[in-house]
Chains A and B, each alone.
Chain A
Amino acid sequence: MKSEADLIKRLKSTRHKEEAFRELLDLYQERLYWHIRKIVVRHEDADDVLQNTFLRVFKGINGFKAESSLHTWMYRIAYNESIRFLEKNRQKDLSLLDPSEYREALTEDDHFDGDEIKLKLHQVISELSEKQQRVFQMKYFDDLSFRQISELLDISENTLKSAYYAAVKIIEERMISQLV
């Protein structure tokens, strides 16, 4: 696999840009989609935000100075685009909704196949502290490493690990009882 530096070089070149962008999509499209989806919830909205994210990446790539990793940079763009979308559509951050509003927002989505267990998990996650929520979602569902999350959130890896394992413990305790 070619290095990230090589990919960045090709993304900036005129000749190899298109081919490099295909490669970029193969590497990050799905990850970014799920990251966005958990913020905006609805599939159609996540699709729009994903398109905008890659457009911003395209426009900004020539100015990318590699002070952070490419992955971290794109993740930040995806996050900012998601928040911008919510603000533009006057939607609340779902973590700020009360349980019934949250449930309603989820079940309105055509691509939500929810049952009580899944809805309960959403609720339990939303009741975690903000730090625990973010690190749990990024680590468990986005499959990021602690190092990557540390770079994104600017929090030490040790702090993140503590937050993550605390979140896992809370979720396990609250959800196991649902399955019994």
Chain B
Amino acid sequence: MKKGEKLKGKPKDQFLRSDDQRLDLEHEHKEYLGMEVPEGYFSRSKQRIMENLPFEKEQKKQVFRLTRSLIYPLAASILLLVSLSVWFFNGPKVDAPGREKAPVAKSLPDMEDTGDFLLTSLLVDENQIDSYVDEVVLKEVVVKAELSEQQLENMFLNSLIEDDSVVDEYLEDNLLKEIVL
């Protein structure tokens, strides 16, 4: 704006534009304050800002975060599965016709002695293997599943007393620790 130059659309005795005569921000800043921006600056700036904002990191964090809406159906499914497993293994056994029931061994090697199912199974006679497997399943799978179910119930009971703001984190941590792992 040069000395003596009339502002676009303005009377000679008026320096600033009225509200209805105002131009866009960039134009006003350039014309009055001499402040410019490089050509295409705002679109480039927008792109850079979007690239620098950590969207992916937040989304990745959310993928592993069990939300309330997910955790209850998931827990219910696990409970149902465990219950079905318990019912299944405790239910009446139906022998296949013609199958001879092997006599239950008077004493089966205790897994605690060897600490390993595979190793222990080598010590069991072939005609006792079915009974042995049944006992292992009962001890190692069903009992442990019942314990996990109890742990899950305890976890939910405990979550009721946790502060609401940390309950999601509490549930996530405990679910992963106690059940999944």
Contact = CB atoms under 8 A, between A and B. Distances in A.
B45 A50 contact: yes
B50 A30 contact: no
Interface in B1-38: 1-6, 12-16, 22, 25-26, 28-30, 32-38
B30 A113 contact: yes
Interface stretch (A16-24, A82-90, A154-162): A16-24
Contacts of B6: 179
A118 B36 contact: no
A1 interface: no
B27 to A, nearest CB: 11
Interface in A30-55: 30-31, 33-34, 37-38, 43, 47, 50-51, 54-55
A171 interface: yes
A117 B1 contact: yes
B54 interface: yes
Nearest to A57: B53
Contacts, number: 111
Interface residues of A, number: 45
Contacts of A113: 30, 34-36
A107 to B, nearest CB: 9
B52 A168 contact: no
Contacts of A175: 15
Contacts of A115: 1-2, 34
A14 B53 contact: no
Interface in A151-180: 168, 171-172, 175-176, 178-180
Contacts of B22: 140, 143
Given A29-B42, A172-B15, 14 more contacts: A21-B50, A21-B55, A22-B46, A30-B42, A31-B25, A37-B29, A51-B49, A111-B35, A112-B34, A117-B1, A141-B25, A143-B25, A168-B16, A175-B15
Interface of B: 1-6, 12-16, 22, 25-26, 28-30, 32-38, 41-42, 45-46, 48-50, 52-55, 58-59, 62
